[in-house]
Amino acid sequence: QVQLVESGGGLVQAGGSLRLSCAASGDTFSSYGMGWFRQAPGKEREFVASVSQSGASTYYAGSVKGRFTISRDNAKNTVYLQMNSLKPEDTAVYYCGGTRGIWTSRPGDYDYWGQGTQVTVSS
């Protein structure tokens, strides 16, 4: 199994940028499709972006497409989420998830999760 640790969250003004990282250990990272999800208080966990095992294919939620970029470095066992043009509605705890299967938009398809990192966007 794989262990995941997110980092890079923080407080940023609207229009600003952050880059989140998710470091993996314990298993062959390149075997896992990876996803970023977020959860705001009182809301369900929602899909943000996902990337295939090789990194060649990506998929985005409509609300972040064109502003966020997911990427991975299999040599460093890390997946990234570059977030630009941040909005107050992007405020949430961001989680990375790993799956040996298809890198879908459904949280239930991911077997492994990190502890999350808080992103707060002020207006």
Q: How far apart are CA 1 and CA 94, in angstroms?
A: 21
121 confidence band (pLDDT: 50, 70, 90)? very high
pLDDT digits (tens, 9 = 90+) for 7-52: 999 999 999 999 999 999 998 999 999 999 999 999 999 999 999 9
pLDDT digits (tens, 9 = 90+) for 49-84: 999 999 999 999 999 999 999 999 999 999 999 999
Residue 94 confidence (pLDDT): 98
CB distance 94 to 107 below 8 Å? no
- Number of Cβ within 10 Å of residue 44's Cβ equals 8
Average pLDDT over residues 76-101: 97
Q: How far apart are CA 25 and CA 4, in angstroms?
A: 7
The CA R_g of the chain, rounded to the nearest whole Å, is: 13
Q: How far apart are CA 31 and CA 57, in angstroms?
A: 14
Two structure tokens written together for 42: 């009182």
Residue 27 confidence (pLDDT): 87
Q: How far apart are CA 115 and CA 62, in angstroms?
A: 25
Residue 86 confidence (pLDDT): 98
